[in-house]
Amino acid sequence: MAAVALAGSAGSAAAQPLQWQGQLALASELTDRGLSVYPRRPTLQADGQVARGHWSLAAAASTDLSSNGRHRVLARVSHYRSLSDDWQLDAGIGWYGYPGDRWARIYDRTEAGIGLGFRDLLSLNLTAIDYHRAWPGRRGGLQWALEAGARWPLGDAWSLTASLGQADLPPQPDRRYRYGGVGLAWQRADWRVEINRLGTDGAARYAFGDAARARWSALVLKSF
């Protein structure tokens, strides 16, 4: 479906060349809306994106650097528009998979979301989530997440970051939790370094234990 959407956009944007972008990152752990998906291990992440006109197609993969080699893969097609010089709108559909780990497979899902951004400073995202599995005794169905993010520049390279979100506990649509974080980021040319303090509320800690406790998280990223 993503390939069809991208190909269909080519007719209206034939004069525009394909734009390619990729990233390679090393993170202290793999997180998903404030939760640690796997036991905390350094994780190697790679992603690539191709765009033409107002459409983009992205794919990513990650693996932790342990003997277990736990993985995540995802693909997303999105459509974006500039509403003005300051405001941007983005909508897309994505698929997330966690192969090879029985526990992590509860996070397998399809998402459809819409996001609004102000410059590179503020963002607001609403996402509908369809988890592919449900815990025994729990009903399935569509779930939701609402997230907001902010960045405060401190100079040419440094910035403060903050995020706050609310979502259904995966995959439990009858229970919600809150999550968020604050951090410090440094960016120069194609390099970015982040350190963040992440946390969740009591509902997530009760359901997920150590995977939801407050912790520090770090990331080193190279774009190309």
118-166 residue pLDDT tens:
999 999 999 999 988 765 555 567 899 999 999 999 988 999 999 999 9
pLDDT given for residue 134 in this prediction = 62
Residue 124 resides in a domain: yes
The parent domain of residue 110 ranges over: 2-9+21-223
Q: How many structural domains is the chain composed of?
A: 1
Q: What are the two backbone dihedrals, phi and then psi, of residue 102, each rounded to the nearest 5 degrees? A: -60, -40
Overall average pLDDT of the 59-86 stretch: 92
> For the chain, what is the mean pLDDT?
89
Q: How confident is the model at residue 4 (pLDDT cuts 50, 70, 90)?
A: very low
Q: Does residue 77 register a pLDDT over 50?
A: yes
Pairing label, strands 43-52, 71-82: unpaired
Residue 16 resides in a domain: no
Residue 83 resides in a domain: yes
Residue 65 resides in a domain: yes
Residue 164 resides in a domain: yes
CA distance 70 to 191: 26
* Residue 39 DSSP code: S
Q: Where are the alpha helices (DSSP H) in the chain?
A: 2-10, 202-208
Q: Which amino acid is present at 25?
A: A
Q: Give me the torsion for CA of 209, 214, 218, 219, rounded to 10°.
A: 60
Residue 15 resides in a domain: no
pLDDT given for residue 11 in this prediction = 47
pLDDT given for residue 9 in this prediction = 42
pLDDT given for residue 136 in this prediction = 56
Residue 177 resides in a domain: yes
User: Residue 173's domain is classified under what CATH number?
Assistant: 2.40.160.40
- In DSSP notation, 126-161 reads EEEEEES---TT-----EEEEEEEEEEE-SSSEEEE
Residue 107 resides in a domain: yes
